[in-house]
């Protein structure tokens, strides 16, 4: 069994600090005259969340994840990046037709990596 995950981002926030200027200065007049004050936005932290559990298959043309909720395919022709995280036994798959990378956590990272390398080498990738 393997686990599929997706990216989650916590809500961002505005950085603390002055928003406007002191009244009477040129920048204050511009600010109060309709100009937008400059704020610094700090994006939220990004993390992974488990979304499904199932099997991952390595075929001659693609990786296929078959989960209880849905199936996902990653064609070798569309792969941009395949990364591994040995600490969590996770594979990061980024393809050209999706914005975010998918994460698949496997039980035996070395075995999956060997199978994936053999399959992609056969395709010349």
Task: For 58-92, write each residue's pLDDT tens digit.
Answer: 988 999 999 888 898 999 889 888 888 888 888 88
Mean pLDDT over the full length of the chain: 77
Tell me the residue range of the domain where 69 lies. Answer: 2-9+46-122
Question: Scanning the structure block, which residue is given the tokens 């399959």?
Answer: 119
Same domain as 94, residue 34: no
Cβ–Cβ under 8 Å, residues 23 and 31: no
Q: How many CB atoms lie within 10 A of CB 78?
A: 14
Same domain as 104, residue 53: yes
Same domain as 90, residue 32: no
pLDDT score recorded for residue 64: 92
Same domain as 52, residue 23: no
Same domain as 27, residue 56: no
The reported pTM is 0.60
Same domain as 51, residue 37: no
With a CB cutoff of 8 Å and minimum separation 6, the contacts of 54 are: 1, 2, 4, 65, 66, 67, 68
pLDDT score recorded for residue 121: 82
Q: What is the tens place of the pLDDT at every residue in 37-63? A: 567 777 777 676 778 888 889 988 999
Same domain as 93, residue 52: yes
């Amino acid at each position: 069994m393997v686990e599929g995950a997706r990216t989650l981002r916590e809500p961002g926030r505005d950085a603390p600090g002055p928003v406007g200027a002191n009244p009477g200065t040129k920048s204050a007049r511009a600010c109060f005259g309709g100009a937008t004050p400059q704020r610094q936005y700090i994006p939220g932290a990004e993390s992974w969340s488990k979304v499904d559990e199932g099997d991952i298959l390595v075929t001659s043309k693609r990786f296929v994840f078959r989960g209880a909720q849905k199936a996902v395919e990653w064609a070798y022709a569309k792969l941009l990046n395949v990364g591994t995280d040995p600490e969590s036994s996770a594979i990061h798959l980024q393809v050209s037709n999706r914005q975010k990378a998918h994460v698949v956590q496997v039980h035996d990272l070395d075995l999956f990596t060997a199978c994936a390398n053999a399959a992609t080498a056969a395709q010349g990738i």
